[in-house]
């Protein structure tokens, strides 16, 4: 199925339908043995980030028709016309150069700032967005322009008044019924209430609840974004009205999407390099499991791995038919985590203590040697409870997590390494982190349910973390994908599924999973991309095809009540 469907086909698809609440009792958490089948070829305090203040300049538009030539208050002062159709955020961040004053009308100006590419000085990035539970992935720029000029879409494209004025200046007046103008603060809620609703918004207006759609295969949420070729990098020009020399353009904001203000985080599910996964690695190569997803993981600025199993120097050769639930991994297998670009290791898993103290300390040492931060577990209880603080491109993130299953699951103590149990300490720490200027990211090793729907115990704890101030709450325990929820600006994903684990034969659902690509910009959490993956054997996932991805998204959106 092509990502560049016709505009009508895009908008005619229904969003995920609602499902009824679960009538039967919640399923009990289970541990599933995975039989093996023959393989088939196939803590320093971060530096505060403070944006440089810029004086706001508002354009005026009082006409003076009796004057036909540009005038100045003095021979050394030039008049600058700032077109009111320019983006409001662009105009708000202007600081005029010495010797320039804003002109009252274009006829009185020596120099014009205006929409268009005739003398390009800035490109303002916009995005096509839809309510998050939208199945469509993107649109072509040709289809978008046709919908604007010919009005062929089922629903009008939503936008605020300023966006309408700017794109009318660039593209001409839209066809009747092609556009609906609403106050900016009403766009998201209105779109969620309408079938097939899409909107056009500036990059700085992105927020949780929107799904950003690709345009010609590009998304401004990604690190491989190309400003020069993106169709919605709207041009702004500085034009001389006569023979006046133009000032240097270094006083202008050149874009509203600066790559050095962006942080992309890849959040993943279960990693356990044991049993049939480890056996496959021995047969195919240590980095074999990441072959098809490594680029997705390495493209992120920060890559999270929830590695549940310790590395042990005396770990035996893997047995694909192992029946014991006591696990270890050969230290050589850390090369896989290196190859996929691991930066942050979660230690909340059930099996961290399986091979004893020596293996746990060896595992922590291997992480220290590579400069990887870890959280949710550690050398003792104090370290296990400590949040991992990360600053990247001015975005201050705090990773914190715990094991919700109770004692007996790798429990850390004041004198013993292990995973940290959940408790009031977690929910008390989240608002403290917010007060210090961090965006808390909470991950749970929660009870395991083989259902797409989230269960009541999960909902209780995940929602409590979100209400405490976490911007992301993610389930690292699930062996299959689970439901999603948006709550007061927080994104909840109850379970992502496996990243590297051998449950290929358990069920179709256990072959499915997500990598969640979260995006932060200038100290705000602005959205997430769901990257669906599918296992092809006991070790290796690959990106889903468009048809496979649509099937999984529809199932998960329905399980989410959308």
State residue 75's pLDDT score: 53
Rounded average pLDDT over 356-361: 97
Distance CA 529, CA 266 (A): 10
State residue 244's pLDDT score: 83
Rounded average pLDDT over 44-52: 36
More reliable by pLDDT, 23 or 96: 96
More reliable by pLDDT, 190 or 97: 190
CATH node for 264-559: 3.60.21.10
Pairing of the two strands 120-131 and 199-202 = antiparallel
Separation of first and last alpha carbons in the chain = 23
Domain boundary assignment for the chain: 1-30+55-252, 264-559
pLDDT at 9 over 80: no
pLDDT tier at 70, thresholds 50, 70, 90 = very low
Pairing of the two strands 270-271 and 498-500 = parallel
Residues with Cβ within 8 Å of 499's Cβ and at least 6 positions away in sequence, in order, are 268, 269, 270, 271, 293, 305, 306, 513, 515, 533, 541
State residue 74's pLDDT score: 53
* pLDDT averaged over every residue in the chain: 88
State residue 5's pLDDT score: 37
Radius of gyration in angstroms for the set of CA atoms belonging to the chain, rounded to a whole number: 27
Torsions phi, psi for 528 (to 5 deg):
-145, 145
Q: Render pLDDT for 380-426 as a digit per residue (tens, 0 to 9).
A: 999 999 999 999 999 999 999 999 998 777 899 999 999 999 999 99
Distance CA 12, CA 416 (A): 58
Q: Render pLDDT for 246-258 as a digit per residue (tens, 0 to 9).
A: 878 889 999 999 9
Match domain 1-30+55-252 to its CATH number in 3.40.190.10, 3.40.710.10, 1.20.120.80, 1.10.10.10: 3.40.190.10
Token representation of residue 140:
């072509």
Q: Render pLDDT for 170-223 as a digit per residue (tens, 0 to 9).
A: 999 999 999 999 999 999 999 999 988 999 999 999 999 999 999 999 999 999
Rounded average pLDDT over 4-31: 38
Burial call 533-543: b when 16+ CB within 10 Å, e when fewer: bbbebbbbbeb
pLDDT at 452 over 50: yes
More reliable by pLDDT, 101 or 152: 101
pLDDT at 85 over 70: yes
Asked if 1-30+55-252 and 264-559 have one fold, the answer is no
DSSP assignment letter at 122:
E
């Amino acid at each position: 199925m092509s990502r560049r469907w016709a505009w009508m086909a895009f908008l005619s698809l229904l969003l995920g339908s609602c499902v009824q609440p679960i009538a039967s009792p919640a399923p009990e958490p289970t541990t599933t043995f995975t039989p093996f089948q023959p393989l088939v070829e196939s803590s320093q305090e971060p530096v505060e980030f403070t944006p440089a203040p810029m004086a706001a300049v508002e354009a005026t538009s009082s006409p003076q028709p009796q004057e036909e030539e540009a005038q100045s208050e003095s021979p050394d002062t030039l008049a600058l016309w700032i077109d009111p159709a320019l983006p409001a955020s662009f105009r708000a961040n202007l600081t005029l150069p010495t010797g320039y004053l804003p002109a009252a009308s274009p006829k009185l100006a020596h120099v014009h700032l205006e929409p268009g590419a005739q003398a390009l000085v800035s490109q303002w990035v916009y995005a096509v967005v839809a309510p998050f539970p939208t199945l469509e992935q993107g649109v072509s720029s040709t289809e978008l322009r046709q919908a604007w000029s010919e009005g062929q879409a089922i629903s009008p494209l939503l936008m605020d008044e300023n966006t309408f004025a700017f794109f009318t200046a660039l593209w001409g007046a839209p066809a009747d019924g092609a556009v609906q103008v609403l106050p900016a603060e009403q766009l998201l809620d209105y779109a969620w209430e309408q079938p097939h609703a899409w909107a056009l918004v500036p990059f700085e207006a992105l927020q949780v609840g929107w799904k950003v759609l690709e345009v010609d295969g590009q998304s401004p949420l990604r690190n491989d974004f190309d400003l020069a070729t993106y169709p919605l990098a709207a041009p702004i020009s500085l034009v001389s009205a006569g023979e006046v020399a133009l000032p240097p353009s270094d006083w202008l904001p050149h874009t509203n999407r600066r790559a050095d203000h962006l942080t992309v985080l890849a959040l993943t599910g279960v990693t356990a390099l044991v049993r049939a996964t480890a056996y496959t690695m021995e047969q195919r190569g240590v980095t074999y499991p990441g072959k098809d997803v490594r680029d997705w993981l390495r493209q992120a600025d920060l890559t999270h791995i929830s590695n549940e199993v310790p590395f042990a120097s005396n770990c035996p050769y893997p047995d694909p038919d192992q029946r014991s639930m006591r696990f270890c991994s050969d230290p050589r297998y850390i090369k896989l985590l290196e190859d996929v670009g691991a930066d942050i290791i979660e230690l909340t898993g059930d099996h961290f203590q399986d091979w004893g103290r020596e293996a746990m300390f060896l595992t922590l040492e291997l992480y220290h040697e590579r400069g990887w931060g870890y959280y949710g577990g550690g050398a003792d209880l104090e370290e296990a409870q400590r949040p991992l603080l990360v600053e990247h491109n001015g975005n201050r993130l705090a990773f914190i997590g715990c094991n919700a299953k109770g004692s007996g699951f790798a429990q850390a103590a004041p004198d013993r390494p292990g995973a940290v149990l959940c408790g009031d300490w977690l929910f008390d720490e989240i608002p403290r982190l917010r007060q210090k200027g961090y965006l808390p990211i909470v991950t749970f090793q929660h009870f395991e349910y083989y259902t797409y729907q989230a269960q009541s115990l999960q909902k209780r704890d995940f929602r409590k973390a979100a209400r405490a101030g976490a911007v992301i709450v993610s389930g690292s325990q699930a062996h299959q994908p689970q439901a999603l929820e948006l709550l007061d600006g927080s994104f909840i994903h109850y379970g992502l599924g496996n990243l590297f684990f051998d449950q290929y034969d358990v069920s179709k659902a256990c072959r499915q999973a997500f990598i969640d690509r979260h995006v932060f910009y200038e100290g705000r959490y602005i959205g997430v991309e769901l990257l669906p993956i599918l296992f092809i054997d006991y070790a290796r996932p690959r990106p889903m095809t468009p048809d496979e991805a649509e099937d999984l998204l529809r199932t998960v959106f329905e399980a989410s009540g959308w």
